[in-house]
Structure 1
């Protein structure tokens, strides 16, 4: 417990300063966003935290707060699997374009990670390649050349990338060899060092003599060869509790994105442990049955194919090879009879209390007992010896560069049939596999099973295996979890299981190691649904008997309604004007956010033909006809979309707003394509948000509280390891009993932000009761929807025409504050928000729209005197003054003493 407190309060001055700068109203760069030359040239779209990390780095290099500091050494502390290599790829383009860096030294600790990174950054034919096939910036093609040494004479539009192990680079620094790079070579042209898995590069535990020729000293030598050299380090694991490490990095940590945040943001699988005292053979058969159940469940329940991979992990190569042989024998001798006997035996000793997921698998096989012959046939095919990778290697250099490297790094590929990997600990770094669902810890060496070094290695492996598998569901892929945590769908398709030996000291050390990594896991026991009940006292009130809650009505929208683009909020009559900053100004443009001064600008006509339009529409998958037809049902052909009925682009003039310093012939063909692409992306966004089978109206319907507010059931997320610090924004969910009568339920299963909101409203109930006879806070939990099919109506939808963007899907604010006096009723929608605020800003905009357009609101019963209101998102510590706004709405003034508290 003391360790948690110590870690939580460690000061990181640079990171703290950047967070404060990002929140500041006086930061002139607060609106800076990831430039188009990055988003356009990378395969993956940056997630919000990657954008934030890049923005923080941008501040450190260009903000006036740092003008007298040379921030040339920073560290990104980001979770395993969170896309550090994507961020590195984006930083390469940023530093090339903004500061003219052409030389990049990529350092890694093992050949395995090196090979993976070579594919990521230089191998265009690899499915792991992170850049677009052709990188274009400001109309110029930019080449990335892999080199062993940086050329003395540098070519234009070229990025030179030296990828090497830190061992080889350090050796070159300390021993002058022919054709190697020494200190003076790094002084000729400015260099950016990208240090992956940076926790390996600190020499804090070495003697002074060892430090003289350490990796750390070699990296420092390169960094200091020139004042404008840069060192960017990346790691998921940094031991800041080590005093020497903390002192080195406390003012260099530029951004943190912890593993628990990564998991709670749903970018990963959940993690569950299955603890067993079974023999290795029984554990092998258990995991075979579970893995095959995953495959069948996806196919039978969701009509989608996944190939779940199993990894058997040993401490010693000899033991791993022996386990491989036992596994082959198990598969070869498996029969319907032996499987039936195994199921009968396990049924007596394994219950949902031991493992909910295994119990689900056993139930499936028992229900299909008549099909065991067919099931065994499939198991023998799926787990045959030719579908097993034995990734063991007797060399000291690692395994990924040997034999099965390509197979190990393409396990998600439909053409890759491998289902099982046998390996030792060397896969803990550099292995990017998304469809790993089971890791089995074999009990091969009890003497070392409980050591901290062993369990930390295993915890890191679990973290890597937790990467989310973006399997197809209803024809679409998602890179975030889609199911409710702990549901059957989530347990089978979105959870990685770590099958452990049931040895007390080992388990204690494993949990400690998981906790040090901030990796939230739980034992795979039955996690019961908890009852949340409406209080009996509330059911005796007039509000329960006669009260209503109000949501706006939706009307069905037929396909015929969408007969022109103006129905989607797209203007297809006016000329098109696109702001743009040309490369001729030597300025980087930012897609969607132009902040330069256009006071001395003019609109330049963009001349183009059908070829440009075809190229742009081919580039953007939204405009592929099968997709376009989903959103525009009346569309006949893709060419028709460009015509008069729809986009009408040939009858409209396209202008680009540019500085007067640009001539009329200044636009290159590539710039024209990019300008058109910006416009087509914006139109696609408008069409998607403007299309819905139903849309909101200004008519609000009252739904009887006693019919729609009901008992429901919900699970508390079952995590037993994780600090859950979340950068001061804790979101761990617990059940809280609330005895006070103002809250209509006996308890709430909520996170700490929601709990804080409830507490702050509780402090104001007595003041509210001075004006209102009835004051009730109602939790509108999404689980309540599933209890009753009719509750799908309880959603708030956009209405009217005054919205910046059209979002017709609707949402349910988490709380309603219900206030009633003798004259009228006030219903205030409240939505707590812990993260992703920018992505869901439209929800807050809708809540504000309600207040600003009261005249547009009608009621089914015109005699009802009801006021519908909304407030800004409630954030931790009330950063948006939501409580103040509630007071102004409810009382016409601030709550007593609130301004002093603020």
Structure 2
């Protein structure tokens, strides 16, 4: 079988070592709160390689981005629109399957006041402002703007079949090249399926959706079709064949979850009537809100109450309203008493009623206020849903107090919500048969996947951790872990639970290999003087003071710059009335290149160019050039613009008489190049060289971990397949502080290595202890401030009559497959010995902090580690 497009691009990247830097036209023009995630950057890099370096690329590409629900496909669309504008495209047709999605999409693309607006307040490409507009037709649009026509595919088909005045027509697509962007693109495949596999609805769609899109695509030789979906049915042979040469990037929901970008799914089954399940969800929702508030975070959790029919949904809403109105302290006390076996609900009541000292009556009154009828919405009316779409798209906003949504299936697609934490299934039926997942159950699993979008927050105890990723897989007993979980509440029905588990497994949202383990410090270690009295030393991250920056050369800005626009003086003429061929009047002189000092263009030109670019406003320049005294110095000093040379190519006469407009264009181009270079080379943070002491007993504690079994990772010491471990009773080794090890094969090999050195170490040191670092301590790279959590800290202590010497070693076992991306960590560890400063003095104790090369059980890596370990451990 021939290679798919994905496989061909993968091979080209691997063997030709292809890479493509994301242009400033994208990064500078996305909203400031958007930071491209690694997989989004990968998708864009593949796009750039495909567009610029893939020789088999057709003139009119048709591509599919197959990406997980919640992975930010809309951000990628915005980035691609910016890049396509740079490539000469101006007209974009954005279509979706559902009318209810249109308004929220327009809000994201067009409204700068929206919290989810995708673009910078002022979009500039090639130093020119670019408007982003919604248009009804591509006839007579602004050729310098991004013109977007938003529609449903059904509405587009209708207009193609019955054209109306001032509406987009098929002629628009013949006369102008257009980029077609299809969201939820799996709806376009009704025609691709063979007839015997079409449902009744799909058969109705057959003559419209896919056929209309195909017809539009064929109208212009440079039209482009970009499809985005999370759920294309690649198990269908015809669809798989259709997309074999079209899938440019595939990022599965399973990978999305494993990378930490989703909530974890917890299935809560209760043998209780629907009303009681609604009450449980309400208590847990309020618990989340209070936990967030206690940590200084704003989070207004939302509950989705899902019914089977519209009538049931209305009845359930009425029951919920009555239940809240009649809520009493006694009812909550009774629920608490009945939940003793429910660890999560018990923890919620303990936190609210005991730790926060709230009586049942006060808690009931609070719930009545927070879940009042005006904060509950039913979305089963299509017209009402369309009107409410913007409100439902802004559930995270501080001014939006909706807490509960009643629905049947109106929110199965296009719902972008991050603070949904509870889905309550208010019916008890199943459609699975013979271990096969039914259609309804699969739709429920997909809804759970949509609700599992992660709620981003900055954790007070991990300020440097990515706000958009899970932070507590290694400490699931931490209170804030409740903000990383989606609870799916259903009745106690073992067969249905098996069905929904199978469906979640198929979609990638459930990990069969996940396990929760308790990692405990041994009681013997907790009683040692090292644990009780001693310290672990780590550094901090601070803003880069840029003390050594005294000019452009600090950022590797070197000239001369070359202005790309050639001024040839060549003129073309044609008759205004047609009928004649174009004539070319070449100049009698040939173009030449000439160097100019940018400062010679004058203060007025340079000042205007700098004023037009926020980066060159003095307050911002001072952040990058702290020794800069004034804007005037930046313009005139030879270490700044005064020393910049730009090469311009053109006719001698033109170069002798550059106009003010031409000088301004050249100056703006050079400033843009300088801005890009400074941003590329600048470092916002650095790691301090001063290491501070923190009590070991405060940093290293018992842990509850959620681990995914992958090879040795997640396997206990006794379950391990690493040779020789069965001969070592780790629980009886007092030097191994924790009672077990669930690490990688290399980590287990390292523990075995320390075991083999035990006699030698005891001959040198009075005691030594090895501690697994499960987010206990974090280091920061001296040069860039990148965070790093070494896998182990080894403490070696030697005593004499007057003082003790404590050696603290940071150690990182590393598999060969991870070396290339993590080599910077080894470089940092090897700098610790010479750069770390321990200025705090403890009488009678001398501390030394060191880092070692990576440990690897085989090859040169381990030779380097052993040499360094033996040298440093003996140097006391």
TM class by shorter chain equals: 0.7 to 0.9
Determine the structure 2 residue equivalent to 1:242.
Answer: 236
Alpha-carbon deviation of 1:89? 0.8
Alpha-carbon deviation of 1:91? 0.6
Could you say if the C-alpha distance between residues 670 and 520 of structure 1 is closer, same or farther in structure 2, counting changes exceeding 3 Å? Answer: farther
Unaligned runs of 5+ residues in structure 1 are 1-9, 587-598, 633-639, 786-791, 800-804, 820-824, 893-902
Alpha-carbon deviation of 1:83? 0.8
Instruction: Work out whether 1:289 is the aligned partner of 2:279.
Output: no
Q: State the SS of the aligned residue for 2:649.
A: coil
Query: Among residues 224, 228, 232, which one is paired with 2:226 in the alignment?
Result: 232
Alpha-carbon deviation of 1:296? 2.1
Alpha-carbon deviation of 1:92? 1.1
Cα deviation code 1:837-893 (max 9, x no counterpart): 999774344146579x899999x9xxx9x9966446x9xxx9xx985432355479x
Cα deviation code 1:423-455 (max 9, x no counterpart): 121112111122222221112x63669972222
Determine the structure 2 residue equivalent to 1:589.
Answer: none
Determine the structure 1 residue equivalent to 2:301.
Answer: 308
Query: Among residues 164, 180, 193, which one is paired with 2:180 in the alignment?
Result: 193
Determine the structure 2 residue equivalent to 1:689.
Answer: 685
CA contact (8 A) 1:41 1:132 kept: yes
Determine the structure 1 residue equivalent to 2:10.
Answer: 19
Alpha-carbon deviation of 1:36? 0.6
Aligned residue pair count: 784
Cα deviation code 1:275-322 (max 9, x no counterpart): 1121111112212222222222222x2133321122211121111111
Determine the structure 1 residue equivalent to 2:42.
Answer: 52
Could you say if the C-alpha distance between residues 556 and 55 of structure 1 is closer, same or farther in structure 2, counting changes exceeding 3 Å? Answer: closer
Query: Among residues 43, 51, 64, which one is paired with 1:61 in the alignment?
Result: 51
Q: State the SS of the aligned residue for 2:151.
A: strand
TM-score computed with the length of structure 2 as normaliser: 0.74
Query: Among residues 354, 375, 398, which one is paired with 1:387 in the alignment?
Result: 375
CA distance in 1, matches of 2:256, 2:171: 41
Once the two structures are superposed, the pairs formed by residues 131-170 of structure 1 within 5 Å of their partners are 131-151=119-139, 155-170=142-157
Once the two structures are superposed, the pairs formed by residues 375-774 of structure 1 within 5 Å of their partners are 375-393=363-381, 395=382, 400-401=385-386, 403-443=387-427, 446=429, 452-471=438-457, 478-483=467-472, 484-520=474-510, 529-531=518-520, 565-567=545-547, 569-571=548-550, 578=557, 584=565, 604-605=598-599, 643=629, 652-654=639-641, 658-661=646-649, 666-668=663-665, 671=669, 674=672, 677-678=675-676, 681=679, 685-686=682-683, 688-690=684-686, 694-696=688-690, 713-717=702-706, 733-737=714-718, 738-741=725-728, 745=736, 750=742, 755-758=744-747
Could you say if the C-alpha distance between residues 62 and 408 of structure 1 is closer, same or farther in structure 2, counting changes exceeding 3 Å? Answer: same
Determine the structure 1 residue equivalent to 2:587.
Answer: none
Determine the structure 2 residue equivalent to 1:830.
Answer: 812
Could you say if the C-alpha distance between residues 326 and 486 of structure 1 is closer, same or farther in structure 2, counting changes exceeding 3 Å? Answer: same
Q: State the SS of the aligned residue for 2:131.
A: strand
Alpha-carbon deviation of 1:67? 4.2
Q: State the SS of the aligned residue for 1:373.
A: helix
Q: State the SS of the aligned residue for 1:427.
A: coil
CA distance in 2, matches of 1:250, 1:648: 54
Alpha-carbon deviation of 1:126? 3.3
CA contact (8 A) 1:742 1:765 kept: no
Could you say if the C-alpha distance between residues 170 and 256 of structure 1 is closer, same or farther in structure 2, counting changes exceeding 3 Å? Answer: same
CA contact (8 A) 2:375 2:404 kept: yes
Could you say if the C-alpha distance between residues 524 and 465 of structure 1 is closer, same or farther in structure 2, counting changes exceeding 3 Å? Answer: farther
Q: State the SS of the aligned residue for 1:425.
A: coil
Determine the structure 2 residue equivalent to 1:900.
Answer: none
Determine the structure 1 residue equivalent to 2:317.
Answer: 324
CA contact (8 A) 1:575 1:653 kept: no
Could you say if the C-alpha distance between residues 709 and 524 of structure 1 is closer, same or farther in structure 2, counting changes exceeding 3 Å? Answer: closer
Q: State the SS of the aligned residue for 2:508.
A: coil
Could you say if the C-alpha distance between residues 490 and 145 of structure 1 is closer, same or farther in structure 2, counting changes exceeding 3 Å? Answer: same
Alpha-carbon deviation of 1:518? 0.8
Unaligned runs of 5+ residues in structure 2 are 568-592, 719-724, 797-806, 869-876
Cα deviation code 1:570-610 (max 9, x no counterpart): 34697887466756379xxxxxxxxxxxx998874485778
CA distance in 1, matches of 2:384, 2:2: 39
CA distance in 1, matches of 2:817, 2:454: 20
Higher-Rg member (1/2): 2
Cα deviation code 1:238-269 (max 9, x no counterpart): 33233333222233221122223333433333
Could you say if the C-alpha distance between residues 55 and 682 of structure 1 is closer, same or farther in structure 2, counting changes exceeding 3 Å? Answer: closer
Could you say if the C-alpha distance between residues 833 and 123 of structure 1 is closer, same or farther in structure 2, counting changes exceeding 3 Å? Answer: farther
Determine the structure 1 residue equivalent to 2:861.
Answer: 885
Alpha-carbon deviation of 1:366? 5.1
Alpha-carbon deviation of 1:52? 0.7
Could you say if the C-alpha distance between residues 810 and 404 of structure 1 is closer, same or farther in structure 2, counting changes exceeding 3 Å? Answer: closer
Cα deviation code 1:612-669 (max 9, x no counterpart): 77876689999699xx8xx99xxxxxxx985389x98875532556544387854437
CA contact (8 A) 1:112 1:400 kept: yes
